[in-house]
């Protein structure tokens, strides 16, 4: 091999590679909203970074609705396809995550309605003296292995989430799994703030009751 040619090729391409990496580093440091501005201006790499940032979190969120990994992949692709197509409709007055979860949530709810006939639940906008309270998870002292405990706990939580009404499950997942703020959840669901808090509290109560039943069986 002609080492001179290879050296010339390296010298020629290395600056381009460094420039590309520097550009990538600059994009990596941007907020989601700044990346969307870049994407709207024509930088497709900014869109790819947003996909990387949110794919895993959205997958967990969508799985709560479908319980089907293949459908999750389809819904995930459709979510990002809509982001791509509708990028110019995004306005930075809203957080990108709120806009993204609104798209994913609408798709997930539509899918859920296709899969199941839902009973309509009447929800009263009230909770324990109107304030949020934390839902402590049961102590899994029956398992000596911490990793096994976490895996078992996750399975129980997944099973329990499946049993509570969808309108409770959605807000509990958004708050306790995705760690979104109440304001974001209200925007995503289109619900008043009081109803969001009420449903979170009631969903947690139902979830806690189901988990208490499961763990009482294991511990007795």
In tens, the pLDDT along 69-127 reads: 889 999 999 999 999 999 999 987 778 988 999 899 889 888 877 765 443 333 333 34
Same domain, 23 and 81: yes
Predicted local confidence at residue 80, as pLDDT:
96
State how far Cα 67 lies from the chain centre: 14
Where is 4: in which H helix or E strand? helix 3-28
The answer as to whether 122 is a domain residue is no
Predicted local confidence at residue 162, as pLDDT:
80
Last residue of a domain, one of 63, 90, 115: 115
The answer as to whether 13 is a domain residue is no
Q: Which is nearest to 35 in space by CA: 77, 90, 81, 73?
A: 90
First CA to last CA distance, the chain: 74
Neighbours of 76 (CB within 10 A): 21
The answer as to whether 80 is a domain residue is yes
The answer as to whether 158 is a domain residue is yes
Domain count, the chain: 2
Q: What is the largest CA-CA distance in the chain?
A: 80
Where is 194: in which H helix or E strand? helix 193-219
The answer as to whether 90 is a domain residue is yes
Domain that holds residue 100: 19-115
Torsion angle in degrees (nearest 10) through CA of 88, 44, 110, 65:
-140
Q: Which of 72-81, 171-180, 198-207 has the lowest mean pLDDT?
A: 171-180
């Amino acid at each position: 091999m002609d080492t001179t040619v290879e050296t010339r090729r390296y010298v020629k391409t290395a600056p381009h590679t460094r420039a590309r990496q520097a550009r990538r580093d600059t994009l990596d440091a941007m907020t989601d909203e700044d990346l969307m501005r870049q994407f709207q201006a024509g930088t497709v790499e900014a869109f790819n970074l947003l996909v990387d940032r949110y794919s895993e979190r959205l997958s967990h969120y969508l799985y709560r609705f479908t319980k089907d990994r293949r459908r999750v992949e389809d819904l995930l692709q459709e979510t990002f396809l809509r982001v791509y197509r509708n990028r110019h409709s995004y306005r930075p007055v809203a957080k990108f995550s709120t806009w993204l979860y609104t798209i994913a949530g609408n798709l997930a709810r539509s899918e859920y309605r296709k899969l199941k006939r839902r009973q309509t639940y009447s929800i009263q906008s009230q909770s324990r003296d109107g304030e949020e309270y934390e839902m402590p998870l049961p102590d899994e002292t029956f398992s000596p292995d911490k990793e096994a405990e976490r895996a078992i706990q996750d399975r129980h939580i997944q099973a329990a989430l499946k049993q509570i009404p969808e309108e409770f499950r959605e807000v509990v997942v958004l708050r306790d799994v995705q760690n979104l703020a109440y304001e974001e959840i209200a925007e995503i669901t289109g619900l008043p703030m009081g109803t969001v808090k009420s449903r979170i509290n009631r969903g947690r109560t139902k979830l806690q009751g189901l988990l208490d039943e499961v763990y009482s069986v294991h511990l007795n």
